[in-house]
Amino acid sequence: MIISGNSKETREQIKEWKKQGLSVGLVPTMGYLHEGHQSLMEAAKRENDRVAVSIFVNPIQFGPNEDFASYPRDFGKDAALCESVGVDLIFHPEAEEMYDEDFCTYVDMDGLTKELCGKSRPTHFRGVQTVVSKLFHIIPADRAYFGQKDAQQLAVIKKMVRDLSMDIEIIGCPIIRETDGLAKSSRNTYLNAEERQAALVLNRSLAAGKKMIEDGERDAAKVKRHIEALIAQEKMAKADYVEIVDFSDITPVEKLDDAKRGEVLCAIAVWIGKTRLIDNFIWNIGRGQRTSGQDYEKRSMS
């Protein structure tokens, strides 16, 4: 397994593989890898001849009062996991390698980024799009893999790739959960035992919202209110947002059946103490909950 912090060297290696006719899958991460990331690497491994993983805690996607400094890091453990999955290359740059002192070029978007996480994290997606664009230039892969847990991020990256005619296929992969339902996240590590228990309210409230839809409810406001009420019952939890949006453009819907491409995203962000966690489900009108992330996506979003 090659480990490099150098952009030029990394690009040369990827180009060399492409010259040999090998396909390359990229899994962009901020490290502190867990089973969610592992599932992305495994998907990349199944579908490509070579797999590259980037590990970079991207400073420009964190707001001034967010957890950039305390974001968990453990490169040794991450490298061991990558090795065990059969990853071929880890790109692990220093911040100076990615951002010159006079760096001033950003990738931004008018739509999709204003709702949900964009409301409380106004510069977050600009930072994500910028770093992902840079990664796509440094690692010109055939496919890149992202988790559905960050559903808005996935939609934003797909749109950026379409709008900027980037030559890469974006693959969305299903959310991986702990056995009790909590979505895997590097930030779960911030939770103490009591908060960890309280965090189950995310999946529990979403499951209740999903049940309402399964039972025929199509009024988004009613489903939203039900989820909000369940979150409010958990003393340690405070909702940042509960939203139901059209998954194709991340705009609010009144009736679920109004979704332009037939899919709505029900997404929540909840503070558990000082930790902000997100979770969601995607509902396909006619098919029900999306479970096999990528097949649906290729049909409905490409």
Query: Contact at 8 Å (CB) between 267 and 152?
Result: yes
Please classify residue 180 by burial: count the beta carbons closer than 10 Å to its beta carbon, then call 0-12 exposed, 13-18 middle and 19+ buried: exposed
Binding to ligand PAF by residue 113, rule CB under 6 A? no
| Binds ligand PAF (CB under 6 A): choice among 78, 88, 150, 243 | 150
Phi, psi of 94 (to 5 degrees): -80, 160
Please classify residue 208 by burial: count the beta carbons closer than 10 Å to its beta carbon, then call 0-12 exposed, 13-18 middle and 19+ buried: middle
The single residue of 34, 37, 137, 226 carrying the catalytic annotation is 37
The Cα 151–Cα 283 span in angstroms is 12
Binding to ligand PAF by residue 13, rule CB under 6 A? no
**By rule CB under 6 A, what count of residues binds ligand PAF?**
10
Nearest to 277 by CA among 193, 192, 184, 206: 184
Torsion sign, CA atoms 112, 118, 119, 123: negative
Torsion sign, CA atoms 77, 83, 87, 91: positive
The Cα 217–Cα 206 span in angstroms is 14
Q: Which residue has the tokens 């890091």?
A: 73
Binding to ligand PAF by residue 30, rule CB under 6 A? yes
Binding map of ligand PAF across residues 129-148, x = CB under 6 A, - = no contact? --xx----------------
Give the range of 26-34, 190-198, 227-235, 239-247 binding ligand PAF by CB under 6 A: 26-34
Binding to ligand PAF by residue 28, rule CB under 6 A? yes
The helix/strand/coil state of 122 is coil
Binding to ligand PAF by residue 128, rule CB under 6 A? yes
Complex with ligand PAF: residue 143 or 224, whichever CB lies closer: 143
Binding to ligand PAF by residue 279, rule CB under 6 A? no
- Give the nearest distance from C-beta 166 to ligand PAF in angstroms: 14
The Cα 278–Cα 79 span in angstroms is 26
Give the range of 23-31, 201-209, 271-279, 294-302 binding ligand PAF by CB under 6 A: 23-31
Binding to ligand PAF by residue 58, rule CB under 6 A? yes
* Known catalytic residue at 37: yes
- Give the nearest distance from C-beta 209 to ligand PAF in angstroms: 24
Give the range of 45-53, 128-136, 199-207, 223-231 binding ligand PAF by CB under 6 A: 128-136
- Give the nearest distance from C-beta 242 to ligand PAF in angstroms: 21
- Give the nearest distance from C-beta 67 to ligand PAF in angstroms: 13
- Give the nearest distance from C-beta 236 to ligand PAF in angstroms: 25
Radius of gyration, alpha carbons of the chain: 19
Give the strand pairing for 237-246 and 251-252.
antiparallel
Complex with ligand PAF: residue 20 or 70, whichever CB lies closer: 70
Chain positions contacting ligand PAF, by CB under 6 A: 28-30, 58, 61, 128, 131-132, 150, 153
Q: Which residues are catalytic?
A: 37
